Amino acid sequence: MAEAERIIGTPDIPEAEGHEGAEPEQAAGSGSPEAVEPDGQDADSAAVDRSPATRRRRIILLFCVAVFAYLLDLGSKMLVVAKLEHQEPIEIFGDWLKLDAIRNAGAAFGFGEAFTIIFTIIAATVILVIARLARKLYSLPWAIALGLLLGGALGNLTDRIFRAPGVFEGAVVDFIAPAHFAVFNLADSAIVCGGILIVLLSFKGLDPDGTVHKD
């Protein structure tokens, strides 16, 4: 019997048990801080795709929204000047909403008519700031918001530069006239919608680069 055990060999049960016991330890070791470090990151920040291709797509979206808003504003103003200026207002919903062409030397909604040049400078500054933000733009909502701002600012800036009474002093064409409210245009609407969206994104803690701050 002893000779048979010497030839065949006895199972190394303690080693096998130790080996089997090592697997749970190894599995438990996978829960170490080093192993879970990627999972411990902010899920929203880790999910942000900051590849150059993503940034290019966001910039393209920004400029597409801006061009759409700009052309819509420019086309509406050209139509208003050609068909509505010096004519009686057109009622859309009775006295609640009319189309009434006016020339506005002030800011959006007719405020600050004595500061035409200042508002022109502000509009140009907004465009430059948006161009700088576009370099780190990875957020889809921010691309839409900045596109609306850019299109609206360009729309009114075009009037400031090319319309009477002179360069950088031109009066903006306004034509949307709600009851008991200032007359405005589509560029003003784009600026306001973009501004509201930026405020909402800021309250949610979303940055232009896609980072989410959770306070």
* 215 catalytic residue (yes or no): no
Peptide bond into 52 cis (omega under 30): no
- The upper half-sphere exposure of residue 182, i.e. CA atoms within 13 Å in the direction of its Cβ, equals 15
CA dist 170 and 157 (Å) reads: 9
Given the residues 95, 188, 207, 209, the one annotated as active site: 188
Cβ 183 vs Cβ 138: under 8 Å: no
Given the residues 73, 159, 174, 207, the one annotated as active site: 174
Token pair in block for residue 131: 């161009």
User: 18-34 burial, b if ≥16 CB within 10 A, otherwise e?
Assistant: eeeeeeeeeeeeeeeee
List the beta bridge partners of residue 176.
Answer: 99, 184
* 39 catalytic residue (yes or no): no
CA dist 57 and 192 (Å) reads: 24
Token pair in block for residue 211: 């980072």
Catalytic residue list: 174, 188
